[in-house]
Chain A
């Protein structure tokens, strides 16, 4: 193998922070026109490695070469100039500007009228169309980004990177909020990129995707380089065992729950919001795990958030234990023994500047008030410590700010918050999104354990294997309707997909109406 084959070579990258060696001699060699998967548990050092590449951290040791030539970037902008772009996990476009304005942000094509530069909208439009065509994208350049789905925004970012002549595109968990056919679309774009000779570093926790799309896989563990393999010689189990350093024979814990009588009955629920769900009915039994599947836009989150009182309902009823309940807000929902783990941990879950203790206790202060109305923090802290131990949150102390934890550990803290309210019905919206394999298993165990204790669980997930592996029944939604409920034991990916794509005839018209 000649060195020139590699478009990027990172050799012996080492980076220490006080007290920890975050990277220890890590190697990453990426060939042009290939997809190189970078895997490792959260905290394995993937992000740190990327930050060293982009110059956001000063590495202690090691060299970075592009096309055999040593490089060193000062920041992401500098890296972009040399042809390296990153598509972040959390995208942040300018929402109230159009697709094309976002595409050419900061480098608008200009035309001079009387020597004064004006923005050339026509050129911008044509250039955008041109760039999209090259990747097989179908997005209207004049639509405000606000109206695009996450996947479309992501594709916009990719197109933007391409238009800047990126030779290496790093994708950090690109599929974490995409549905299956959006992932397929992403993969076809990746294939287009490969044809153009672009190299892709694909950071993901999803093994099936990695095996499907990548040419090579580099595995990291605890800041160390474990090795690089050709993907076609790998299996999911092999990758996982290298990642966690032990064998993970089963991806899902055994479940010992036995669904009993009905606890929650939802009948004819219609959202009061426009273009949301309509006439959804289902029941949830005690000790049952009910999965909810569907494509993005199926209005699954809207459904559970409405049940939890965060969104307005137009009609329909909710019964708990046979009694009709009216839930107007989260306070009512908590009183009705419900808990909601929201999909967007950072937006609606954590209080980044507050400690783990405050984050855990926020819904539970009522329990820790003295007669004078003052907080008895000692008892609260004791309970938080207990919850940290039980859920195995990795943290130096319960007074650590939650923003300093990894995503998986933050999620465990949020579990701890809700478990402390002693809920009977847990609504879990993408509970393992953006969480590494090892922690995922722990989260599954927590869920299985809760069900075994007779708690009722609704779990929304976009990962089909997760739904199949964890649910007693799976409700499938499509475009705001419940299109069917499958038995968890006999359900197949194909059966779910069929229900998830049961669109009504009017769908296309509606879509156009939304965009117009």
Chain B
């Protein structure tokens, strides 16, 4: 009798553990699956490549995550990435590149264009925040509007004399180094800058979400915005701040992505918002708000990178990869939501 009860209890515990850590288990089983098919997958080189791929995606996803936790969403993320990429690349073309956007522009210190890109994106976030919090436009609509408008702005900036619409290339060496450089010896143990930057941002955002009043207010607004208003939370200010932080992170992500890939066009970043939102929800961020962790977002981003990189590594047809990604998005959320459903 007793052992039976004990068995029941422990099996319940295993089930609970699986449900509570579903996304980590998905990640681990993915890796195991790929490693069985191709043992050479488990190498430091592949690990570094996956981390490099994940870095900018993580920064963008962390920006969207805060907005999702408030119960909002941000469709303008991808286009903001494109805006930042075009802006920063156009200001950081190498002096000897023949078709520069600004022929007389002197070589700028790296930080200035990066800050310009982040600030301009931050202004998009400010607009989003005001439209959502003051004008009470639903976030989906507000950011759908800014997504479309930002693409227009990027295109106007991009498609100009003297050379018209043409990819912005020939980035100067310091900018390229930001995207592709690394510290440590050139070899197995090197760490790319962008991975370090992403790690720093992840830690920073963890602190913001867990250790500041802003972070606590974000969870409160997402959990129950009416109660937040009654409890003395400045809902308008918090929302605007969260949208600004999000957009600033897209700005940073877009800049780094341009540096990593060596250029940009006005179409850059298209669809990144959906990748970021997908990574967040797979990582346990609730689209209805109030729930989500930085750790979860990190795992969510890694899952998609492992799928992209790992499945290509074992030669899975890219169309099949799309199907697998789609299934994982739905399955991860279906499992995750079990945490909150009433138990029988």
Contacts and interface: CB of A to CB of B under 8 A. Distances in A.
B232 A363 contact: yes
B223 interface: yes
Interface in B153-203: none
A446 B334 CA distance: 44
Interface in B206-230: 207, 210-213, 216-217, 219-220, 223-224, 226-230
A51 to B, nearest CB: 9
B9 A358 contact: no
Residue of B12, B230, B231, B340 contacting most chain A CB atoms (<10 Å): B231
Contacts of A330: 229-232
Contacts of B290: 351, 353-354
A362 B211 contact: no
B233 A362 contact: yes
Nearest to B291: A353
Contacts of B234: 331
Given A375-B211, A375-B212, A350 B229 contact: no
A473 to B, nearest CB: 26
Contacts of A352: 223-224
A334 B233 CA distance: 10
A331 B238 CA distance: 13
A347 B226 contact: yes
A348 B227 contact: yes
Given A18-B9, A358-B220, A374 B211 contact: yes
Given A334-B232, A349-B230, A58 B344 contact: yes
A56 B341 CA distance: 13
Contacts of A349: 227, 230
A92 to B, nearest CB: 16
B180 to A, nearest CB: 34
Residue of B213, B217, B219 contacting most chain A CB atoms (<10 Å): B213
B230 A348 contact: yes
A342 B223 contact: no
Given A365-B213, A373-B212, A351 B230 contact: no
B216 A348 contact: no
Given A58-B344, A353-B223, A366-B213, A310 B9 contact: no
A362 B216 contact: yes
B286 to A, nearest CB: 8
Interface string A331-368: 10110000010100001111111100010011101100
Contacts of B212: 373-375
Contacts of B230: 308, 310, 330, 340, 342, 348-349
Interface in A56-71: 56-58
A56 B216 CA distance: 35
A369 interface: yes
Contacts of A362: 216-217, 220, 228, 231-233
Contacts of A351: 219-220, 223-224, 227-228, 290
A412 interface: no
A369 to B, nearest CB: 7
A331 B231 CA distance: 8
Interface in A92-129: none
Contacts of A18: 9, 12
A375 B211 CA distance: 5
Interface string A477-491: 000000000000000
Contacts of A361: 216
A417 interface: yes
Nearest to A331: B232
Contact of B216 (A310, A329, A375): A375
Contacts of B227: 347-351
Contacts of B9: 18
Nearest to A333: B232
Given A358-B216, A375-B213, A417 B231 contact: yes
A352 B340 CA distance: 11
Nearest to B340: A353
Contact of A363 (B12, B207, B231, B291): B231
A138 to B, nearest CB: 32
Nearest to A18: B9
A296 to B, nearest CB: 20
A332 to B, nearest CB: 9
A59 to B, nearest CB: 11
Nearest to B221: A351
Nearest to B12: A18
Contacts of A334: 232
A369 B224 CA distance: 23
A58 B344 CA distance: 7
B70 to A, nearest CB: 13
Contacts of A353: 219, 223, 290-291, 340
Given A348-B230, A375-B211, A365 B224 contact: no
A373 B212 CA distance: 7
Contacts of B223: 351-354
A369 B229 contact: no
Contacts of A56: 344
B216 A57 contact: no
Contact of B224 (A350, A363, A366, A377): A350
Interface in A358-391: 358, 361-363, 365-366, 369, 373-375, 377
A369 B214 CA distance: 11
Contacts of A310: 229-230
Contacts of B224: 347-348, 350-352
Interface of B: 9, 12, 207, 210-213, 216-217, 219-220, 223-224, 226-234, 290-291, 340, 344
Interface of A: 18, 56-58, 308, 310, 329-331, 333-334, 340, 342, 347-354, 358, 361-363, 365-366, 369, 373-375, 377, 417, 421
19 contacts: A18-B12, A329-B229, A330-B229, A333-B232, A340-B230, A348-B227, A348-B230, A350-B227, A351-B219, A351-B223, A353-B340, A354-B219, A358-B219, A362-B216, A362-B217, A362-B232, A363-B232, A366-B213, A375-B210
Given A348-B229, A351-B224, 8 more contacts: A18-B9, A348-B227, A351-B223, A353-B223, A354-B223, A358-B219, A363-B233, A374-B207
List 9 A-B pairs, minimum CB-CB distance, nearest first: A351-B223, A365-B213, A334-B232, A353-B290, A374-B211, A330-B232, A363-B231, A348-B226, A363-B232
